[in-house]
Structures are given as structure tokens and as C-alpha cells.
A and B are shown apart, each in its own frame.
Chain A
Amino acid sequence: MELTTIWFIVIAGLWVGYFVLEGFDFGVGILLRVLGRHEPERRAVITTIGPVWDGNEVWLIVAGGATFAAFPEWYATLFSGFYLPLFAILVALILRGVALEYRGKRDDLVWRSRMDTMITIGSVLPALLWGITFANLVRGVPIDSSHEFVGSLGSLLSPFALLGGVAFTAVFVAHGAIFLALKTTGELRQRANRFASLSGLAAAVLAVGFLAWAHGIRGDLASAVVAGVAAAALLAGLVANRFGREGWAFLGTAVAVALAVVSLFAAMFPDVMPSSLDPAWSLTTTNAASTPYTLKMLTIIAGIFTPLVLLYQGWTYWVFRKRITVEPVTVTPLSPPQPGPVS
């Protein structure tokens, strides 16, 4: 297999990792105030993703860095072309990261509730915008002969792209609800389980509609089959969830997210960013790629270290495998008395 193809698969794999992992913590973030009805529950909800969300987000950073290294033209056109959506994603991820880390650093409910709002906004916005971004990637955007994006923000907001955004968000919500059901106990678990069933059906309809439309635009039999299996996995996950088998349900939605992303990448291949102006101007795995020397060096290093990363990230999930129980916590309803300097 050619190195450029291998790196196309690696990049796709990094996005798969990102969406499978951050997908559920986006979902958990979106559902924080929906399923967590009071502070102890919300704290339990946050704690399910606490040890892992940051590591999950690194998949995005590595996807960005690896694209820069392996396909500089792709990195340059994508990030400069999708300027404002990416700016919004960055702002949202900054707010979310800060809110996740800072919410527990103060003991008053007003503060925590403010942080919770930021977590929710910071989760829903990137989910929506990544969906819009990926829909546009598949659909093709105006790229000229020198690989420059020449469209406008409006050209990125077609009905198809908006459907992509909503479908991504809905799937992440269901994925997150199942993760919550898997990681909590008692009433919270049951509420998450019920919500997963409901939101899962909506997600399934939206996802099937989006994937079908996407394959109407681009793709071949193979990518369509992958998309079909993704839909089946989602449905199987929902069935498992119905029977309270949350481990299997989570596997189902994880596979669904993974295969849906794979099918989008497969539909584009060998393009990495199809041009809607002239197919000859599309960015492809060959004309966007780095030199064979760079790709070979990256392959060797990634070959050594990726298994290691998977091993220790997997170990984290193993260490924190136990369900989180809702614990009463001591918080003061308003700002606590300032411990202030002794003056």
C-alpha cells in the first residue's frame, strides 16, 4: 500500500478516535443539565468523564498535527477555508475545558451552575460545527486551482451541512447517554438509559438520513455498505440498551460512530478535500501529501508509539471502570464566606 494511502487511513483513524471518545463526552456535557437534576447528580455526571475527557481531546490535536505533517495542503486549505467555524469550535472548546476543570474549584452552586452552562454550550457547539465541517468535506467546497478555498461562510451552511451538524449532535447525545447509563447507578442510570432509547431513535433517523444523502453526493458501494453497518450497529446498540445491557449498547454506538466516520472518509477517497468547482482542483492523497521521506519517518514513529498510547489510555479506562454513585456533597447555596486575608 502506498504511504499516502496509509496516512489517509491514519488521519481517518485519528478522527474516528476523536469522535468515538470525545463524542461521548460531548454527549455527557450536553446532557449534564438534562439528566443531572441537582448538584450531587451533576457532579456524578461530570465525574464519569473527568479522568478521560482531556485525553480524548488530544485525539483532535494529534489529528491536526498529523494532518499538518502528512498532508500540509489539506491542513492549510481546511483550516484557512473553514476559518470562522473553526474559530467558534476553538472558543467553545476553550470555555468547555476551563469550565470542566474549574467547576469543582469553588464550593458555591451559582459558580457551578455557571460552569455547567459553559460545559453544555461548549459541548453542543463543537458537535454541531464538526458535523457541518464534515458534511462540507464530503459535499465538496469551492477550491480553486491553487488549492485555495474561495467560498464564503454562507456556502458552508447548506441544508445538507446543517443536517450533518444536527445528525452528529444527535448521535453524540445518544452515545453520551449510553455512556452515562454505563457509568452510573440507581435512578441516574435509569434516567440515562431511558433518555438513550428516546434520543437514540431520533439519532438513528437523522444519521441514516444524513449518511444516505452523503452517499447520494459521493461514495461507492463499499462506503455505502460501511454506512449501512454503522446504522445497524446503532440500532443494535439501542436494542441492547433497551435490555439494560449498557456495555454492549456502548459498544454499539461506538462502532456506529466509528463506521459512520469511516464511511465518510471512504466516500471521499482518494480525495481529501473535493473541489466543487472542478474535480481537477480537488486536494487528493497524492497532491496534498508530504514527501515519502517524511511519511516514512512518521510511519515508523507512529508504528512504535501508537500501540503504547492505546495501551495507557486503555489502562485509564480500566482504572476508572467502576460506576460512579451519586454522593451527597457539601456545598453552600451561595458564595461561601471569604476565607480572606487576616487583616
Chain B
Amino acid sequence: MDTLDLARWQFAITTVYHFFFVPVTISLVAITAGLQTAWVRTGKDKYLRLTKFYGKLFLINIAMGVVTGLVQEFQFGMNWSDYSRFVGDVFGAPLALEGLLAFFLESTFIGLWIFGWDRLPKKIHLACIWMVVLGSQLSAYFILAANSWMQNPVGFRYNAQRGRAELTDIGAVLTNKVVLVTYPHTIFAAFMVGGAFVAGVAIWHLVRRKGVDTDAFRTAMRLGAVVVIVAGAGVALSGDQQGKVMTEVQPMKMAAAEALYQTEKPASFSIFTIGTLDGSREIYSLKVPYLLSFLATGHFEDEVKGINSLQEAYEQLYGPGSYNPNIPLTYWTFRLMIGVGMASAAIAVWLLWTTRRGRAPAGWLAWVALPLPLLPLAANSFGWIFTETGRQPWLVFGLLPTASGISPGTTTSEVLTSLIGFTLLYGALAVVEVKLMFRAIRAGLDPVEPDDAPDQPDKPLSFAY
């Protein structure tokens, strides 16, 4: 492996890992804020206890999101310095805005929320967690705008003398048609994870701790399931829009999603295919006619361009070379994303139905309740692996090949050191994090504390450190 491969592996590992925590954070903070709002409005103890319980799980999770996010901010410069020089004028802006508008907001108000339970008036304290929600949404939007620019560069001109892309219209970057569909898709997908997490934890308690806080955990279970279903519908609708935009701006990615070598009109969608390893020849395939045409264009009869004809067109446009992404990888991640995501929503529907009107969840669910959120989480990862590898061989589509973005000065041993270092560290932290999560989940809901005077100065901060 050379420096390029190592740097790509490092980016893949650190980013996929970082994004295990991001969807949980985005959704769990909003659900926690919702629970706290319910408590402030109704005064019911169960909402307060659920707020503190899920809030604690959220805090265990976001700690990992924050520290792994540091690496994200720095590794563009460390491993991808030529990329940074090329795109900094455009791509740096959303990153700087993310820091200034979102990260300050999130980190400051999380501190106020954790330590402010006894020091802030109820409503101000509630507002603090909503500020964290706002920060997480802004952060998602800016970073997705940056990523969308790599998928579909807009609002810039190429300066040949400096050899870089230069921003001409920040409005165009922030309203890129790709970010407008990617943002809702990502947020809905995140809520599928958070909903499944809330429901899964609640089911575990309902089954394993029968009779303990049943009312509160039933509320949580059904709330989580509803969140998964609503978010699942949002994911499907926004994903449909996204497919059409992708066909327009990155037709090769759409063709690669289907491993469609020859242009078809109308094009069918294969549920699965057995074929050669590079995906160029199929042995058996289960196909749904017309579906790909519809996914790609919104019309059942329309043409979908194949990989071969796109390859020819790209050679004309960009010169000789291969413009194919890793076809089996894009083909399968695309299917797994959709399949696993749909399975999650189906499970949530089944769960709501079987627990209707006070029915207890089935006993065997205890075994699968906690891994349940891993399904939508995996769908999130598959989606990102699809969209990022589907852009290859481009780093910035049509502008900068991935191989040209690497830091020319870094050595293989440097990149190998950091790759191994981060991988080992992340592996160890995953063990610590999961253990802590289980511990906090098993501990269950805390009893309600007596309502102290809010201004007692030295009350031990039981919720804090």
C-alpha cells in the first residue's frame, strides 16, 4: 500500500467511526429535548426521569462524537494538503462557519445544560438543550454543504494560475441542490437511529425488569418506534429526491449503484445479483422492471445511462483514464442501505402493532432490543460508503482526482503511524464507550430528587462529574 491508499483508509476508518456517533447525537439530543419539554409542560415525573436517563446516554455518546470530530477538522491538512490548497477558498468557509456558528453553540450550551440543572431557572435550562439541538442542526447543514460541494461543485471558478478553485457565490454553495436533498435525508436517517435506540433500550427494560417503571419505558418505547416510522418515511421521500438529483449531477454514481453497464430504456432495478467479482458480468439477478428508471428520473419509461457510455463520455471530457468507481461496493452498499433501512422501519411498525393498547413486548425481544439501533446505524454507514466511494475516482467531482489531493510531503511511515494509532485508539474507546453505555442502560431510571431551592450554591452536581 502506498501513501494514497493509507490516507484513504485512514479517512474511511476515522470518518465512518466518527459517524457512528453523529446520528445518535443529532437525534438523541432532540428526543431528550422533547422529553424535557414534556416535563416542563406537564410536570410529570416520568418525563423528567426519562430526560435524565436518555440525557446521560446522549452525553456518553456525544463525548465520543466531539473528540473524534477533532480528527476530522485536522486530517484534511495532515493527509490531504494538496486538496486543502485546491479547495480551501471554497470548502474552508462552511467548515469555519460550522465552528463559529455551531460548535461554540453546542459545546457551551451542553456545559450549561449538564451543570445547570440546579443553577438555572427551569425554562432557561430547557432552552439550553434546545440551543444544543440548534447547534447540531447547523453543524450538520454546514458540513453537508461542504460535502455536497465535493459531489457537485457550484458557486466557484477555477483559477488556472493559482491552480485552485475560488469561491464566487457562497449562496450557491449553501443552496447547492445536492445539500438541499442530502440534509433532510441525513437528518431523517439520524432520527431512525435515535428512535431505534430509545425504543431498544426501553424494550430491554420492559422485558428484563418487568414491573419497574413500566409506564415510563412504555412511553419511551412507543415514542421511539413512532420516531423511527416517521423518520423512515422522511428518509424514503428525501432519498427518492436525492436519487433524481444524483442522476442529474453524478450519473456515473447512479449507474454504479445498479452496476448498469449498458444504457437501458426502461431500466430495471435488481434486488440482488450474483456475478463476477468486478460486477461486469451477471450470472443470476432478481430484477424489478422499470424501477431504476423511476428511481433515477421519476418516470417509468425513461433512459438510464450505463457505465460504458458514461465512461466514453468522460474520456472525451476529462481525458483518458478509468472513471468507474468500485462497482461491487457501490452496488451492494446501495442495496444494503435501502434494505436495512426499510427493515428497521418495518420492525418499528410491527413493534407498535404488537404493543398496542398496553400489550407487553414479546419476551424474546430482550435478546435483540439493544442491537436493534445497529440496523439503522448500519444503513447510515452504507449510505455514506456508497455516496463517497461512488464519487471516485474524483475527490471533487469533475475537478480534482482523489490521487491529486494527497499531501506530497508526508511519508508512508507517517501515515501508517497515524492510521494504526487512530485505529487502535478508536477500537479501545469503542470498548470503553459500549461498556459505559450498557452500565448506564442497566442502571435504569434514577428516582426523582427532592425539589431543592434552585439557588443552593454548593449542592453536589450529581448529574455532572
Contacts and interface: CB of A to CB of B under 8 A. Distances in A.
Interface of A: 43, 46-47, 50-52, 54-55, 57-58, 60-62, 64-66, 68-73, 75-81, 83-84, 86-87, 90-91, 93-95, 97-98, 100-106, 147-150, 290-291, 293-294, 297-298, 301-302, 305-306, 309, 312-313, 316, 319-320, 322, 324-325, 327, 329, 339-342
A145 to B, nearest CB: 13
A97 B67 contact: yes
Contacts of B105: 309, 312
A147 B407 CA distance: 11
Contact of A90 (B71, B82, B109): B71
Interface stretch (B34-42, B248-256, B266-274, B454-462): B454-462
Contact of B84 (A57, A61, A75): A75
Contacts of B432: 98, 102
A294 B156 CA distance: 11
A94 B108 contact: no
Q: Which one of A50, A84, A90, A291 has the greatest number of beta carbons of chain B within 10 Å?
A: A90
Given A54-B111, A84-B414, A293-B166, A77 B98 contact: no
Q: Name the 7 nearest CB pairs between A and B, nearest first.
A: A72-B88, A79-B77, A69-B92, A101-B63, A62-B99, A68-B92, A104-B465
Given A57-B107, A102-B432, A312-B108, A80 B60 contact: no
Contacts of A64: 73-74, 77, 99
Contacts of A341: 208, 442
A298 B170 CA distance: 10
Given A329-B460, A339-B442, 15 more contacts: A50-B465, A66-B96, A68-B76, A70-B92, A76-B85, A79-B81, A86-B78, A87-B418, A91-B422, A97-B63, A101-B63, A150-B409, A301-B101, A319-B112, A342-B208
A302 B96 CA distance: 9
Given A80-B409, A86-B78, A309-B100, A73 B465 contact: no
A62 B464 contact: no
B92 A65 contact: yes
A50 B115 contact: yes
A147 B86 CA distance: 13
A256 to B, nearest CB: 25
Contacts of B410: 80, 83
Contacts of A52: 111
Interface in B83-123: 84-85, 87-93, 95-101, 103-105, 107-112, 114-116, 119-120
Q: Which one of A51, A104, A340 has the greatest number of beta carbons of chain B within 10 Å?
A: A51
A320 B88 contact: no
Interface in B441-455: 442-443
B111 A62 contact: no
Contacts of A78: 77
A339 B443 contact: yes
B439 interface: yes
B85 A72 contact: yes
Interface in B379-418: 407-410, 414, 417-418
B209 interface: yes
Interface in B115-162: 115-116, 119-120
Contacts of B84: 68, 72, 75-76, 79
A294 B77 contact: no
A71 B85 CA distance: 9
Contacts of B465: 43, 46-47, 50, 100, 103-104
B78 A62 contact: no
Contact of B436 (A106, A294, A309): A106
Nearest to B120: A319
A55 B60 contact: no
B443 A47 contact: no
Contacts of B99: 58, 61-62, 64-66
A61 B92 contact: no
A269 to B, nearest CB: 21
A83 B78 contact: yes
Contact of B95 (A68, A86, A90): A68
A342 B100 contact: no
23 contacts: A50-B111, A51-B116, A58-B99, A58-B108, A62-B96, A62-B104, A64-B77, A72-B84, A73-B88, A75-B92, A83-B78, A83-B410, A83-B414, A87-B421, A94-B71, A94-B425, A101-B59, A105-B440, A291-B167, A294-B89, A305-B100, A306-B100, A316-B111
